[in-house]
Structure 1
Amino acid sequence: MFHRPITRVCHLSPTGNRRGAVAVEFAVVAPVLVSVMFAMVSLNRAFEAQNLLATAAREGARFASMDREGMPTGGQTGNQKLANDIKNFLASNGIDRDAITVEVKDFENPEEDFDIDDVANDLRLFEVKVSVDYSAVSYTPVNASSDYQMTAKVVFRNGRATLSD
C-alpha cells in the first residue's frame, strides 16, 4: 500500500506577506542610511571650511604682497587690516569672528611675528596662518575632547619695496 505524501499549497497574494518584509528591511536599513547622510553633511562642512580658510589666508596675503598705500584706515596697521579682512571674509561665510585666529609670521623664523609695514621687511617672505576650531564650523555639537583646530597657511613675499631713482 502506497501512501501519497500530503502537500500543502498556500495561495497567498503576491503582496500579502511581502509588505511586512519590506517594512522590516526598511527598519534595518534606514538608520544606516540616515547616519551616512549626516556623516556626508559633516564631512562636506569640514571640507568647505578648510577651503574657506585657505582662500581667506591667500587673499589676506595677497593684500600684504601688493602696494597698499592708503588702504588701511582709521590708524590701522597693515597687519590689523589683513587680520580684519580675513575675519570679515570668514564671518560672511558663517564662521564666528571671535573663533578665528590670524597670525602673520616670519617665514625664515616662524616664532617671530612679521610686520608687513616695516621697511626692513621689504621683499621678505612671510606666512599667514588662519586657524579655527572645528566646533566653530560644525553643524553638530562637538565634544571638547574630540575638537581639533583647522588651519590654513600660505607664504607670500612682502610686496613693499623702496624704488630708487
Structure 2
Amino acid sequence: MTDEAEELPKPRELLAARVAAEELFDTLRDWFDVPDEVTIDLRAVDSAVSELSDPQYVMAMAMRKLQALHLLTTPGVVTTTDVVLTVIQDLERALLQAPSMHLRNAAAETDWDAALAELDEDPIDPAGGHDGEGGEGEGEPAEAGAAGDRIEAFRRHHSALHEAARAVLRASDGEIRRLI
C-alpha cells in the first residue's frame, strides 16, 4: 500500500467535532471556574494524588484534551485515526461526570435558607405555574430551565464526539490510517 492509499480525508463528523470541542471547553471553564493557567505538580510520581481528586483540576485536564482535539479537527492538520480515538476516549470519563459534578457543586454552594425563603415569596398558582416573575410556564424556575438547557447542550456536544469517533472507525475500517 502506498502512503496515499493509507491517507483518508477527515470525516465530516470529525470536522464538526471542532465546534463541539469549543463548546465543551467553554462550558467546563464556566461550570468549574477553571483559571486560564493551571500548574501541574511533577515533583514525584504520586504528587498528583491530591490534584486528581480536585474536580476543577480534573476538568482543567479535560480542557487540555479538548484543546488537543480542537487542533486535530482543524482542516489541514495531519493526524492518525488512533490519535483521534485515544483523545476522544481520554475525554470520556470527565465528560460523563461533568454535568452531575456541576450540579453537586451548585447544590453545595446554594444558600438553601435563602432559596427556600424565595419559594415562600413566589407562591405556586393552582395551574402549576409561578405567580412571580421567575417562572417559565411549567412551574420551573428560570434558573432551573437554563441549567437544564445547558446540560442538554453539553450532552449534545459530548455526543458529537462519539459520532466523530464512530465516523473515524467506519472510514478507516478499524485500521490505523493518516487523516488529512
Q: Answer 1 or 2: which has greater helix percent.
A: 2
Task: Answer whether TM exceeds 0.5 for this pair.
Answer: no
Q: State the structure with more CA Rg.
A: 1
- Normalised by the length of structure 1, the TM-score is 0.27
The structure, 1 or 2, with the larger RCO (C-alpha pairs under 8 Å, 6+ apart) is: 2
Q: Answer 1 or 2: which has greater strand percent.
A: 1
